[in-house]
Structure 1
Protein backbone atom coordinates (compact mmCIF):
# COMPACT_ATOMS: atom_id res chain seq x y z
CA UNK A 1 0.00 0.00 0.00
CA UNK A 2 1.15 3.52 -0.78
CA UNK A 3 0.33 6.63 1.22
CA UNK A 4 -0.22 9.60 -1.11
CA UNK A 5 -0.37 13.25 -0.10
CA UNK A 6 -2.05 15.93 -2.22
CA UNK A 7 -2.48 19.69 -2.15
CA UNK A 8 -5.94 20.65 -3.38
CA UNK A 9 -7.96 23.80 -3.92
CA UNK A 10 -11.71 24.11 -3.90
CA UNK A 11 -14.55 26.57 -4.13
CA UNK A 12 -16.76 25.50 -1.24
CA UNK A 13 -19.83 27.47 -2.36
CA UNK A 14 -21.82 24.44 -3.54
CA UNK A 15 -20.78 21.99 -0.82
CA UNK A 16 -21.93 21.11 2.70
CA UNK A 17 -18.38 21.34 3.99
CA UNK A 18 -15.42 18.98 3.67
CA UNK A 19 -16.49 15.98 5.74
CA UNK A 20 -18.74 13.25 4.33
CA UNK A 21 -22.33 13.63 5.55
CA UNK A 22 -25.45 11.59 4.82
CA UNK A 23 -27.42 12.88 1.82
CA UNK A 24 -25.07 15.86 1.38
CA UNK A 25 -22.59 16.80 -1.30
CA UNK A 26 -19.17 17.32 0.29
CA UNK A 27 -15.56 17.76 -0.79
CA UNK A 28 -14.47 14.48 0.82
CA UNK A 29 -17.26 12.58 -0.97
CA UNK A 30 -16.22 14.02 -4.34
CA UNK A 31 -12.57 13.14 -3.76
CA UNK A 32 -13.33 9.59 -2.68
CA UNK A 33 -15.68 9.17 -5.63
CA UNK A 34 -12.96 10.37 -8.02
CA UNK A 35 -10.48 7.85 -6.60
CA UNK A 36 -13.07 5.09 -6.95
CA UNK A 37 -13.72 6.01 -10.58
CA UNK A 38 -9.98 6.01 -11.23
CA UNK A 39 -8.86 2.87 -9.37
CA UNK A 40 -11.98 0.98 -8.28
CA UNK A 41 -10.85 1.34 -4.67
CA UNK A 42 -12.90 2.62 -1.75
CA UNK A 43 -10.53 4.91 0.15
CA UNK A 44 -10.88 7.20 3.15
CA UNK A 45 -9.54 10.67 2.43
CA UNK A 46 -7.94 12.39 5.44
CA UNK A 47 -7.63 16.18 5.46
CA UNK A 48 -5.60 18.65 7.51
CA UNK A 49 -8.92 19.86 8.91
CA UNK A 50 -12.62 20.08 8.15
CA UNK A 51 -13.88 23.21 6.47
CA UNK A 52 -17.52 24.23 6.99
CA UNK A 53 -20.23 24.58 4.37
CA UNK A 54 -19.40 27.42 2.01
CA UNK A 55 -15.75 27.73 3.13
CA UNK A 56 -13.00 27.51 0.50
CA UNK A 57 -9.42 26.23 0.38
CA UNK A 58 -6.44 27.48 -1.58
CA UNK A 59 -4.06 24.78 -0.34
CA UNK A 60 -5.82 22.06 1.64
CA UNK A 61 -3.70 18.98 2.31
CA UNK A 62 -5.14 15.47 2.10
CA UNK A 63 -3.80 11.92 2.11
CA UNK A 64 -5.08 8.40 1.58
CA UNK A 65 -3.64 4.93 1.10
CA UNK A 66 -3.95 3.07 -2.18
CA UNK A 67 -2.73 -0.14 -3.78
CA UNK A 68 -2.83 1.48 -7.24
CA UNK A 69 0.37 1.41 -9.29
CA UNK A 70 -0.39 4.67 -11.08
CA UNK A 71 2.83 6.77 -11.11
CA UNK A 72 2.61 9.62 -8.63
CA UNK A 73 3.25 12.24 -11.34
CA UNK A 74 0.04 11.19 -13.15
CA UNK A 75 -2.31 11.32 -10.19
CA UNK A 76 -3.30 15.01 -10.32
CA UNK A 77 -4.22 14.92 -14.01
CA UNK A 78 -6.14 11.68 -13.54
CA UNK A 79 -8.07 12.95 -10.49
CA UNK A 80 -8.83 16.34 -12.03
CA UNK A 81 -10.39 14.60 -15.02
CA UNK A 82 -12.84 12.94 -12.60
CA UNK A 83 -13.44 15.84 -10.20
CA UNK A 84 -15.93 18.69 -10.66
CA UNK A 85 -14.42 21.93 -11.95
CA UNK A 86 -14.54 23.57 -8.50
CA UNK A 87 -12.11 21.04 -6.96
CA UNK A 88 -8.53 20.83 -8.27
CA UNK A 89 -5.55 18.72 -7.22
CA UNK A 90 -2.27 20.61 -7.65
CA UNK A 91 0.49 18.42 -6.22
CA UNK A 92 0.92 14.75 -5.35
CA UNK A 93 3.69 12.87 -3.61
CA UNK A 94 4.26 9.54 -1.93
CA UNK A 95 4.88 9.89 1.81
CA UNK A 96 5.71 7.62 4.72
CA UNK A 97 2.96 5.21 5.83
CA UNK A 98 2.76 7.06 9.16
CA UNK A 99 1.94 10.45 7.62
CA UNK A 100 -1.47 11.81 8.67
CA UNK A 101 -2.62 15.14 7.19
CA UNK A 102 -4.35 16.32 10.35
CA UNK A 103 -2.09 14.94 13.08
CA UNK A 104 1.13 16.05 11.38
CA UNK A 105 0.02 19.65 10.69
CA UNK A 106 2.01 22.25 12.66
CA UNK A 107 0.48 25.52 11.48
CA UNK A 108 -2.52 26.63 9.45
CA UNK A 109 -3.23 29.97 7.88
CA UNK A 110 -6.73 31.25 7.14
CA UNK A 111 -7.72 34.35 5.20
CA UNK A 112 -11.05 36.12 5.61
CA UNK A 113 -11.95 38.68 2.94
CA UNK A 114 -14.43 41.53 3.35
CA UNK A 115 -15.61 43.57 0.38
CA UNK A 116 -16.02 47.01 1.96
CA UNK A 117 -17.07 48.96 -1.15
CA UNK A 118 -20.61 50.19 -1.76
CA UNK A 119 -21.29 47.53 -4.38
CA UNK A 120 -20.26 43.85 -4.53
CA UNK A 121 -17.58 42.60 -6.90
CA UNK A 122 -19.32 40.29 -9.36
CA UNK A 123 -16.11 38.35 -10.04
CA UNK A 124 -15.31 37.65 -6.37
CA UNK A 125 -18.81 37.45 -4.91
CA UNK A 126 -18.40 33.80 -3.86
CA UNK A 127 -15.13 34.44 -2.03
CA UNK A 128 -15.74 37.55 0.07
CA UNK A 129 -18.33 38.94 2.44
CA UNK A 130 -19.90 42.15 1.19
CA UNK A 131 -20.21 44.90 3.81
CA UNK A 132 -21.42 48.00 1.94
CA UNK A 133 -21.16 50.55 4.77
CA UNK A 134 -18.03 52.16 6.20
CA UNK A 135 -15.69 50.18 8.45
CA UNK A 136 -13.04 51.82 10.63
CA UNK A 137 -10.04 49.82 9.51
CA UNK A 138 -7.64 51.37 12.02
CA UNK A 139 -9.92 50.52 14.94
CA UNK A 140 -10.16 46.95 13.67
CA UNK A 141 -6.38 46.73 13.35
CA UNK A 142 -5.87 48.07 16.88
CA UNK A 143 -7.98 45.21 18.25
CA UNK A 144 -5.74 42.45 16.88
CA UNK A 145 -2.51 42.34 18.97
CA UNK A 146 -4.22 40.92 22.06
CA UNK A 147 -5.06 37.75 20.10
CA UNK A 148 -1.42 36.85 19.49
CA UNK A 149 0.13 34.10 21.57
CA UNK A 150 -1.41 31.29 23.60
CA UNK A 151 -4.92 31.91 24.92
CA UNK A 152 -8.16 30.20 25.85
CA UNK A 153 -10.40 31.06 22.86
CA UNK A 154 -13.69 29.88 24.39
CA UNK A 155 -15.30 33.24 23.54
CA UNK A 156 -14.54 32.66 19.87
CA UNK A 157 -15.80 29.09 19.62
CA UNK A 158 -19.31 27.88 18.86
CA UNK A 159 -21.03 26.28 21.84
CA UNK A 160 -21.68 23.22 19.65
CA UNK A 161 -18.01 22.19 19.69
CA UNK A 162 -16.90 18.87 21.15
CA UNK A 163 -13.43 20.20 22.01
CA UNK A 164 -12.86 20.29 25.77
CA UNK A 165 -9.53 22.13 25.57
CA UNK A 166 -9.95 25.52 23.91
CA UNK A 167 -6.39 26.81 24.27
CA UNK A 168 -4.72 27.67 20.96
CA UNK A 169 -1.65 29.66 19.89
CA UNK A 170 -1.83 32.33 17.22
CA UNK A 171 1.48 33.25 15.55
CA UNK A 172 0.19 35.89 13.15
CA UNK A 173 -2.91 38.09 13.12
CA UNK A 174 -2.79 40.92 10.59
CA UNK A 175 -4.93 42.93 8.21
CA UNK A 176 -4.27 43.89 4.61
CA UNK A 177 -6.28 46.44 2.64
CA UNK A 178 -6.54 47.34 -1.02
CA UNK A 179 -8.28 49.92 -3.15
CA UNK A 180 -10.00 49.35 -6.47
CA UNK A 181 -7.88 51.19 -9.05
CA UNK A 182 -10.59 50.82 -11.67
CA UNK A 183 -13.13 52.74 -9.59
CA UNK A 184 -10.49 55.27 -8.47
CA UNK A 185 -12.37 56.09 -5.27
CA UNK A 186 -9.24 56.22 -3.12
CA UNK A 187 -11.14 54.32 -0.43
CA UNK A 188 -10.45 50.87 0.98
CA UNK A 189 -12.50 48.41 -1.05
CA UNK A 190 -11.26 45.12 0.35
CA UNK A 191 -10.05 44.02 3.78
CA UNK A 192 -8.25 40.75 4.40
CA UNK A 193 -7.70 39.28 7.85
CA UNK A 194 -4.86 36.75 7.83
CA UNK A 195 -4.48 34.44 10.83
CA UNK A 196 -1.87 31.75 11.43
CA UNK A 197 -2.08 29.37 14.39
CA UNK A 198 -1.28 25.90 15.63
CA UNK A 199 -4.97 25.02 15.41
CA UNK A 200 -8.44 26.55 15.29
CA UNK A 201 -11.69 25.90 17.11
CA UNK A 202 -15.03 25.46 15.36
CA UNK A 203 -15.99 28.82 13.77
CA UNK A 204 -13.11 30.55 15.58
CA UNK A 205 -11.95 32.72 12.68
CA UNK A 206 -15.50 33.65 11.66
CA UNK A 207 -16.43 34.71 15.21
CA UNK A 208 -13.26 36.81 15.48
CA UNK A 209 -14.24 38.46 12.19
CA UNK A 210 -17.80 39.03 13.37
CA UNK A 211 -16.45 40.80 16.46
CA UNK A 212 -14.01 42.83 14.35
CA UNK A 213 -16.81 43.99 12.07
CA UNK A 214 -18.72 45.30 15.07
CA UNK A 215 -15.59 47.21 16.09
CA UNK A 216 -15.29 48.58 12.56
CA UNK A 217 -18.93 49.67 12.68
CA UNK A 218 -18.33 51.56 15.93
CA UNK A 219 -20.53 49.25 17.98
CA UNK A 220 -17.58 48.24 20.18
CA UNK A 221 -14.26 49.92 21.08
CA UNK A 222 -11.03 48.27 19.96
CA UNK A 223 -10.25 47.46 23.59
CA UNK A 224 -13.32 45.23 23.73
CA UNK A 225 -11.49 42.44 21.93
CA UNK A 226 -9.31 41.81 25.01
CA UNK A 227 -12.33 41.91 27.30
CA UNK A 228 -14.14 39.35 25.14
CA UNK A 229 -11.07 37.12 25.01
CA UNK A 230 -10.67 37.16 28.79
CA UNK A 231 -14.39 36.55 29.39
CA UNK A 232 -14.21 33.01 27.95
CA UNK A 233 -17.88 33.35 27.12
CA UNK A 234 -19.26 32.97 23.58
CA UNK A 235 -22.14 35.34 24.31
CA UNK A 236 -19.68 38.21 24.77
CA UNK A 237 -18.32 38.01 21.21
CA UNK A 238 -19.88 39.18 17.96
CA UNK A 239 -21.87 37.10 15.47
CA UNK A 240 -20.36 34.38 13.30
CA UNK A 241 -19.34 36.00 10.01
CA UNK A 242 -20.61 34.55 6.73
CA UNK A 243 -18.78 31.45 5.49
CA UNK A 244 -18.17 32.73 1.95
CA UNK A 245 -15.37 35.07 3.04
CA UNK A 246 -13.22 32.36 4.60
CA UNK A 247 -10.43 30.45 2.84
CA UNK A 248 -7.98 27.90 4.23
CA UNK A 249 -4.83 29.48 2.80
CA UNK A 250 -1.93 27.26 3.79
CA UNK A 251 -0.98 24.25 5.93
CA UNK A 252 2.58 23.80 7.24
CA UNK A 253 4.25 20.58 8.37
Structure 2
Protein backbone atom coordinates (compact mmCIF):
# COMPACT_ATOMS: atom_id res chain seq x y z
CA UNK A 1 0.00 0.00 0.00
CA UNK A 2 1.07 3.54 -0.68
CA UNK A 3 0.44 6.36 1.77
CA UNK A 4 -1.81 8.98 0.21
CA UNK A 5 -2.03 12.57 1.41
CA UNK A 6 -5.04 14.83 0.80
CA UNK A 7 -5.58 18.56 1.18
CA UNK A 8 -9.14 19.05 2.40
CA UNK A 9 -11.18 22.25 2.58
CA UNK A 10 -14.51 22.46 4.40
CA UNK A 11 -17.23 24.68 5.76
CA UNK A 12 -17.62 23.45 9.34
CA UNK A 13 -21.05 25.03 9.88
CA UNK A 14 -23.15 21.90 9.17
CA UNK A 15 -20.76 19.42 10.82
CA UNK A 16 -20.05 18.29 14.38
CA UNK A 17 -16.33 18.87 14.04
CA UNK A 18 -13.69 16.75 12.37
CA UNK A 19 -13.41 13.64 14.54
CA UNK A 20 -15.68 10.66 13.93
CA UNK A 21 -18.70 10.26 16.23
CA UNK A 22 -21.49 7.74 16.68
CA UNK A 23 -23.85 10.17 14.97
CA UNK A 24 -21.74 9.92 11.80
CA UNK A 25 -22.21 13.64 11.23
CA UNK A 26 -18.58 14.77 11.16
CA UNK A 27 -16.16 15.72 8.40
CA UNK A 28 -14.07 12.60 9.01
CA UNK A 29 -17.16 10.37 8.81
CA UNK A 30 -18.24 11.98 5.54
CA UNK A 31 -14.75 11.73 4.01
CA UNK A 32 -14.44 8.06 4.97
CA UNK A 33 -17.89 7.43 3.47
CA UNK A 34 -16.66 8.97 0.21
CA UNK A 35 -13.51 6.83 0.34
CA UNK A 36 -15.62 3.72 0.83
CA UNK A 37 -17.81 4.63 -2.14
CA UNK A 38 -14.80 5.36 -4.35
CA UNK A 39 -12.62 2.37 -3.42
CA UNK A 40 -15.14 -0.20 -2.12
CA UNK A 41 -12.91 -0.54 0.97
CA UNK A 42 -13.07 0.66 4.57
CA UNK A 43 -10.33 3.25 5.06
CA UNK A 44 -9.42 5.07 8.26
CA UNK A 45 -7.98 8.55 7.94
CA UNK A 46 -5.63 10.60 10.13
CA UNK A 47 -5.71 14.39 10.12
CA UNK A 48 -3.14 17.04 10.99
CA UNK A 49 -5.34 18.74 13.57
CA UNK A 50 -8.87 18.13 14.83
CA UNK A 51 -11.36 20.95 14.47
CA UNK A 52 -14.41 21.51 16.68
CA UNK A 53 -18.06 21.93 15.72
CA UNK A 54 -18.53 25.00 13.52
CA UNK A 55 -14.80 25.42 12.80
CA UNK A 56 -13.73 25.60 9.15
CA UNK A 57 -10.63 24.52 7.24
CA UNK A 58 -8.93 26.31 4.38
CA UNK A 59 -6.49 23.41 4.25
CA UNK A 60 -6.74 20.37 6.47
CA UNK A 61 -4.17 17.66 5.66
CA UNK A 62 -5.14 14.00 5.88
CA UNK A 63 -3.28 10.76 5.24
CA UNK A 64 -4.32 7.12 4.79
CA UNK A 65 -2.90 3.94 3.28
CA UNK A 66 -4.53 3.48 -0.11
CA UNK A 67 -5.69 -0.07 -0.96
CA UNK A 68 -5.98 0.78 -4.66
CA UNK A 69 -3.83 2.71 -7.12
CA UNK A 70 -5.23 5.82 -8.75
CA UNK A 71 -3.71 8.97 -10.20
CA UNK A 72 -3.74 12.07 -8.01
CA UNK A 73 -6.34 13.76 -10.23
CA UNK A 74 -8.51 10.62 -10.12
CA UNK A 75 -8.50 10.69 -6.29
CA UNK A 76 -9.57 14.33 -6.31
CA UNK A 77 -12.36 13.93 -8.86
CA UNK A 78 -13.57 10.58 -7.55
CA UNK A 79 -13.82 11.62 -3.91
CA UNK A 80 -15.43 14.97 -4.68
CA UNK A 81 -18.16 13.10 -6.58
CA UNK A 82 -19.21 11.55 -3.25
CA UNK A 83 -18.71 14.60 -1.02
CA UNK A 84 -21.33 17.27 -0.20
CA UNK A 85 -20.83 20.90 -1.29
CA UNK A 86 -19.46 21.82 2.16
CA UNK A 87 -16.41 19.50 1.81
CA UNK A 88 -13.88 19.36 -1.03
CA UNK A 89 -10.64 17.53 -1.75
CA UNK A 90 -8.35 20.23 -3.16
CA UNK A 91 -5.31 18.07 -3.94
CA UNK A 92 -3.90 14.56 -3.56
CA UNK A 93 -0.33 13.27 -3.47
CA UNK A 94 1.54 10.04 -2.85
CA UNK A 95 3.71 10.54 0.24
CA UNK A 96 7.36 10.64 -0.74
CA UNK A 97 9.47 7.77 0.63
CA UNK A 98 11.93 8.93 3.30
CA UNK A 99 14.06 6.18 4.86
CA UNK A 100 14.26 7.84 8.27
CA UNK A 101 10.53 8.58 8.65
CA UNK A 102 7.14 7.63 7.23
CA UNK A 103 4.90 10.60 6.50
CA UNK A 104 2.25 11.27 9.16
CA UNK A 105 -0.26 14.12 8.76
CA UNK A 106 -0.01 15.04 12.44
CA UNK A 107 3.46 14.03 13.60
CA UNK A 108 5.32 15.18 10.49
CA UNK A 109 3.86 18.69 10.80
CA UNK A 110 6.34 21.39 11.83
CA UNK A 111 3.73 24.02 12.71
CA UNK A 112 0.12 25.08 12.21
CA UNK A 113 -1.57 28.34 11.30
CA UNK A 114 -5.09 29.38 12.25
CA UNK A 115 -6.97 32.43 11.03
CA UNK A 116 -9.80 34.01 12.99
CA UNK A 117 -12.15 36.23 11.00
CA UNK A 118 -13.94 39.02 12.89
CA UNK A 119 -16.79 41.09 11.47
CA UNK A 120 -16.66 44.43 13.31
CA UNK A 121 -19.83 46.40 12.61
CA UNK A 122 -22.73 47.73 14.71
CA UNK A 123 -25.23 45.57 12.78
CA UNK A 124 -24.89 41.83 12.25
CA UNK A 125 -24.59 40.60 8.66
CA UNK A 126 -26.59 37.57 7.46
CA UNK A 127 -23.88 37.02 4.82
CA UNK A 128 -21.29 36.52 7.58
CA UNK A 129 -23.44 34.22 9.69
CA UNK A 130 -21.48 31.09 10.57
CA UNK A 131 -18.40 32.38 8.74
CA UNK A 132 -17.13 35.14 11.07
CA UNK A 133 -17.24 36.13 14.70
CA UNK A 134 -19.26 39.32 15.18
CA UNK A 135 -18.25 42.21 17.46
CA UNK A 136 -20.62 45.19 17.39
CA UNK A 137 -18.45 47.49 19.51
CA UNK A 138 -15.60 49.28 17.68
CA UNK A 139 -12.30 47.39 17.85
CA UNK A 140 -8.90 49.06 18.00
CA UNK A 141 -6.75 46.73 15.92
CA UNK A 142 -3.53 48.50 16.94
CA UNK A 143 -4.22 47.89 20.64
CA UNK A 144 -5.00 44.25 19.89
CA UNK A 145 -1.82 43.85 17.85
CA UNK A 146 0.29 45.36 20.62
CA UNK A 147 -1.36 43.15 23.26
CA UNK A 148 -0.67 39.98 21.25
CA UNK A 149 3.09 40.50 21.13
CA UNK A 150 3.61 39.04 24.61
CA UNK A 151 2.30 35.69 23.32
CA UNK A 152 5.11 35.25 20.80
CA UNK A 153 7.82 32.80 21.85
CA UNK A 154 7.86 29.67 24.00
CA UNK A 155 5.28 29.98 26.78
CA UNK A 156 2.94 28.15 29.12
CA UNK A 157 -0.49 28.83 27.61
CA UNK A 158 -2.54 27.49 30.54
CA UNK A 159 -4.47 30.79 30.69
CA UNK A 160 -5.98 29.94 27.31
CA UNK A 161 -6.38 26.18 27.70
CA UNK A 162 -9.73 24.40 27.83
CA UNK A 163 -10.45 22.40 30.99
CA UNK A 164 -11.03 19.37 28.73
CA UNK A 165 -7.71 19.72 26.88
CA UNK A 166 -5.82 16.41 26.70
CA UNK A 167 -2.46 17.82 25.57
CA UNK A 168 0.46 16.50 27.61
CA UNK A 169 1.94 19.97 28.11
CA UNK A 170 0.58 23.54 28.00
CA UNK A 171 3.93 24.79 26.70
CA UNK A 172 3.83 25.72 23.01
CA UNK A 173 5.90 27.88 20.66
CA UNK A 174 4.01 30.81 19.19
CA UNK A 175 5.98 31.74 16.08
CA UNK A 176 3.93 34.79 15.22
CA UNK A 177 0.63 36.67 15.58
CA UNK A 178 -0.61 39.33 13.22
CA UNK A 179 -3.81 41.31 12.74
CA UNK A 180 -4.88 42.53 9.31
CA UNK A 181 -7.82 44.89 8.93
CA UNK A 182 -9.74 45.58 5.73
CA UNK A 183 -12.82 47.70 6.30
CA UNK A 184 -15.17 45.90 8.69
CA UNK A 185 -13.16 42.65 8.56
CA UNK A 186 -10.25 41.78 10.84
CA UNK A 187 -8.20 38.62 10.35
CA UNK A 188 -6.13 37.45 13.31
CA UNK A 189 -3.39 35.08 12.09
CA UNK A 190 -1.75 32.78 14.65
CA UNK A 191 1.22 30.58 13.75
CA UNK A 192 2.46 28.08 16.37
CA UNK A 193 4.13 24.72 16.82
CA UNK A 194 0.78 23.36 17.99
CA UNK A 195 -2.36 24.59 19.73
CA UNK A 196 -4.18 23.58 22.89
CA UNK A 197 -7.92 22.91 22.82
CA UNK A 198 -9.82 26.21 22.40
CA UNK A 199 -6.52 28.11 22.64
CA UNK A 200 -7.17 30.30 19.60
CA UNK A 201 -10.76 31.14 20.57
CA UNK A 202 -9.68 31.96 24.13
CA UNK A 203 -6.90 34.23 22.90
CA UNK A 204 -9.27 35.95 20.46
CA UNK A 205 -11.84 36.55 23.21
CA UNK A 206 -9.18 38.19 25.38
CA UNK A 207 -7.87 40.30 22.50
CA UNK A 208 -11.41 41.56 21.93
CA UNK A 209 -11.53 42.73 25.55
CA UNK A 210 -8.40 44.79 24.81
CA UNK A 211 -9.71 46.01 21.46
CA UNK A 212 -12.93 47.37 22.98
CA UNK A 213 -11.04 49.06 25.82
CA UNK A 214 -12.43 46.76 28.51
CA UNK A 215 -8.87 45.72 29.41
CA UNK A 216 -5.47 47.36 29.04
CA UNK A 217 -2.84 46.35 26.48
CA UNK A 218 -0.70 44.65 29.14
CA UNK A 219 -3.52 42.46 30.39
CA UNK A 220 -2.61 39.40 28.28
CA UNK A 221 0.87 39.41 29.79
CA UNK A 222 -0.69 39.31 33.25
CA UNK A 223 -2.92 36.41 32.22
CA UNK A 224 0.08 34.47 30.91
CA UNK A 225 1.92 34.95 34.21
CA UNK A 226 -1.09 33.90 36.31
CA UNK A 227 -1.78 30.77 34.19
CA UNK A 228 -5.41 30.81 35.33
CA UNK A 229 -8.03 30.13 32.62
CA UNK A 230 -10.82 31.61 34.79
CA UNK A 231 -9.24 35.07 34.67
CA UNK A 232 -9.26 35.32 30.87
CA UNK A 233 -12.21 36.21 28.63
CA UNK A 234 -14.86 33.60 27.77
CA UNK A 235 -14.24 31.27 24.84
CA UNK A 236 -15.25 33.12 21.70
CA UNK A 237 -17.48 31.82 18.90
CA UNK A 238 -16.14 28.98 16.70
CA UNK A 239 -17.71 30.45 13.56
CA UNK A 240 -14.80 32.67 12.57
CA UNK A 241 -12.09 30.08 13.15
CA UNK A 242 -10.27 28.56 10.16
CA UNK A 243 -7.48 25.98 10.11
CA UNK A 244 -5.48 27.77 7.45
CA UNK A 245 -2.23 25.89 6.88
CA UNK A 246 -0.12 22.96 8.08
CA UNK A 247 3.60 23.43 7.54
CA UNK A 248 5.74 20.43 6.49
CA UNK A 249 9.36 19.98 5.51
CA UNK A 250 9.78 20.54 1.74
CA UNK A 251 11.21 17.01 1.51
CA UNK A 252 7.65 15.67 1.49
CA UNK A 253 6.95 17.56 -1.76
CA UNK A 254 3.30 18.27 -0.95
CA UNK A 255 1.41 20.54 -3.41
CA UNK A 256 0.53 23.19 -0.83
CA UNK A 257 0.05 26.85 -1.73
CA UNK A 258 0.43 30.02 0.39
CA UNK A 259 -2.78 31.20 2.04
CA UNK A 260 -3.95 34.78 1.48
CA UNK A 261 -5.70 36.00 4.65
CA UNK A 262 -8.58 37.52 2.66
CA UNK A 263 -8.70 35.23 -0.37
CA UNK A 264 -11.64 33.20 0.92
CA UNK A 265 -13.89 36.04 2.14
TM-score range, shorter chain: over 0.9
Task: Tell me the residue number matched to 1:246.
Answer: 241
8 Å contact 2:72–2:91 — kept in the other structure?
no
- 1:124 & 1:116 partners in 2: Cα distance? 11
Equivalent position to 1:100, from 104, 115, 136: 104
TM-score by length of 2: 0.89
Higher deviation after alignment, 112-121 or 153-162: 112-121
- 2:59 & 2:228 partners in 1: Cα distance? 32
Shift of 1:40: 1.0
Output the aligned Cα RMSD. Answer: 1.2
- 1:200 & 1:126 partners in 2: Cα distance? 22
Task: Tell me the residue number matched to 1:145.
Answer: 149
- Structure 1 position 226 matched with structure 2 position 230: no
Q: Output one character per residue of 1:23-56: Cα deviation in whole Å (capped at 9) or x when no partner.
A: 1410000000000011111111110010000000
8 Å contact 1:9–1:59 — kept in the other structure?
yes
- 2:186 & 2:70 partners in 1: Cα distance? 43
8 Å contact 1:107–1:199 — kept in the other structure?
yes
- 1:4 & 1:36 partners in 2: Cα distance? 15
Task: Tell me the residue number matched to 2:207.
Answer: 212
Aligned length: 244
TM-score by length of 1: 0.93
- 2:24 & 2:221 partners in 1: Cα distance? 38
Shift of 1:123: 2.9
Counterpart secondary structure, 1:213: helix
- 1:190 & 1:71 partners in 2: Cα distance? 40
Higher deviation after alignment, 161-170 or 79-88: 161-170
Segments of structure 2 that go 5 or more residues without pairing to the other structure are 249-265
Displaced runs of 4 or more, over 4 A: none
Segments of structure 1 that go 5 or more residues without pairing to the other structure are 180-188
